[in-house]
Amino acid sequence: MFYSSFIVGFEELVKKIVEEKCTNISLNQVLNGAIISKTSTSANIVDIPFFNNHFFVFKQAKTGNINSFIDSLSDINLKKAKNKRSFRVIISDQNNLVSIDNTVLTKLEQKISNETGNYVNRLKPDIEYWILKRSEGIVLFMERISKHKSFDKQLNKGELREDLCYFLNYLSMPNENDIFLDCFCGSGAIIKSRMKINKFNMVFGIDIDQNCIQELKSSYKKRNNIIFKNIDFFYNKFEDNFIDKIVTDPPWGLFDNIENIQDFYQKAINEMYRIVKPKGLIVILTACKEEMNNIDTKLSLLEQYNILVNGKKASVYVYQK
């Protein structure tokens, strides 16, 4: 079995995607921000764009006590390693790293070392074994098989994570004929994700940040069907009913000089309604849940996902004209 984590709040969406598109993966459990699945090889899951960390599961049990769970691991058989490597054991209690009695930890380390031939290195190991206790009342003993790179080191300030962008684009039901728009594109993370999905006819990205737009123009200067404009969305020149899909992350009003965030969102929705075709889709990520819920619009709200973005509560709204 394998354990794979993803952004909290997208549980139903992940279940839907895996069941529809990942025919070589069998779902065992959908947890809060993770799944436990069966598949013939880890290669079937490690390249899925919305998963973060992957583990091989040796044992799963329903228990509230980590020490008693560790005692039960005596019947677990681990394979002898082909090449001697270092390892450490990490204990996590509901996403908080915790320490346990050193005697208990040392006993577990000795078992792993005896059976695998590997040696302990608690600082910078080659392998990580995890004891993970979850809020659902289960504890797992696992080996990490992949780890995402630090998003903080990869991303520009305010740039969205790739896994989040995948979900946003997926919710817009990508089509080869789409005229697609990100009307607050910033550094272009949503559009870059759309390029990887590779389902569109034409893409527009607009933003008031001149530096961001210039960098994006340089990156896509050889693509005639990908157009970036340094303009204010409220003063753009798109025709009525011109755009098929809008996927965007508007300013949240937290670090932006926006006097009236409610008015800002109302105007943004009005403009999106004007330029989107009938039956067109609009996907919006925002932390301004109260403002979004108070918007007056003729758009139909199809779905809403309450998620966490870098530890902050946010929501994804899917509208249709």
Check whether domain 154-320 has CATH 1.10.1450.10, yes or no: no
The amino acid at 256? D
For the segment 59-81, the average pLDDT, to the nearest whole number, is 90
The rounded mean pLDDT for the chain is 91
**Is there a contact between 151 and 161 (Cβ–Cβ < 8 Å)?**
yes
Q: Please tell me the predicted confidence (pLDDT) of residue 17.
A: 94
For residue range 92-141, what is the model confidence (pLDDT) as tens digits?
A: 998 899 988 999 999 999 999 999 999 999 999 999 999 999 999 999 99
Q: Please tell me the predicted confidence (pLDDT) of residue 154.
A: 61
For the segment 23-38, the average pLDDT, to the nearest whole number, is 93
For the segment 287-311, the average pLDDT, to the nearest whole number, is 93
For the segment 297-305, the average pLDDT, to the nearest whole number, is 97
Architecture of domain 2-152: 2-Layer Sandwich (3.30)
For the segment 275-298, the average pLDDT, to the nearest whole number, is 96
Cβ neighbours of residue 102 under 8 Å, at least 6 residues apart? none
**Is there a contact between 115 and 80 (Cβ–Cβ < 8 Å)?**
yes
β-strand pairing of 127-133 with 86-93: parallel
Residue 313 main-chain phi, psi, to 5 deg: -65, 135
For the segment 9-18, the average pLDDT, to the nearest whole number, is 95
**Is there a contact between 72 and 105 (Cβ–Cβ < 8 Å)?**
no
Give the position of tokens 């990869």.
Answer: 154
Q: Please tell me the predicted confidence (pLDDT) of residue 169.
A: 97
> 110-115: long-range contacts (C-beta < 8 A, 24 or more apart)?
111/73, 111/74, 111/78, 112/78, 112/87, 113/87, 115/77, 115/78, 115/79, 115/80
**Is there a contact between 103 and 144 (Cβ–Cβ < 8 Å)?**
no
**Is there a contact between 127 and 87 (Cβ–Cβ < 8 Å)?**
yes
Map out the domains of the chain as residue ranges: 2-152, 154-320
For the segment 204-218, the average pLDDT, to the nearest whole number, is 94
For residue range 246-282, what is the model confidence (pLDDT) as tens digits?
A: 999 999 876 667 889 999 999 999 999 999 999 999 9
Q: Is the sign of the CA dihedral 265, 260, 230, 154 positive or negative?
A: negative
For residue range 179-210, what is the model confidence (pLDDT) as tens digits?
A: 999 999 999 999 999 999 988 999 999 999 99
Cα–Cα dist 310/139, whole Å: 25
What are the structure tokens assigned to 313, written together?
Answer: 């509560």
Cα–Cα dist 141/133, whole Å: 9
DSSP state of 76: -
Cα–Cα dist 303/167, whole Å: 13
For residue range 31-45, what is the model confidence (pLDDT) as tens digits?
A: 999 999 999 888 888
Q: Please tell me the predicted confidence (pLDDT) of residue 2.
A: 95
Give the 3-state DSSP-derived string for 272-316, with helices as H, strands as E and coil as C.
HHHHEEEEEEEEEEECCHHHHHCCCCCCEEEEEEEEEECCEEEEE
Q: Please tell me the predicted confidence (pLDDT) of residue 224.
A: 87
> What is the pLDDT confidence band of residue 22, given thresholds at 50, 70 and 90?
confident
Task: Output the CA angle 154-157-163, nearest 5 degrees.
Answer: 50
For residue range 141-185, what is the model confidence (pLDDT) as tens digits?
A: 999 998 765 555 466 666 899 999 999 999 999 999 999 999 999
**Is there a contact between 58 and 89 (Cβ–Cβ < 8 Å)?**
no
**Is there a contact between 253 and 264 (Cβ–Cβ < 8 Å)?**
yes
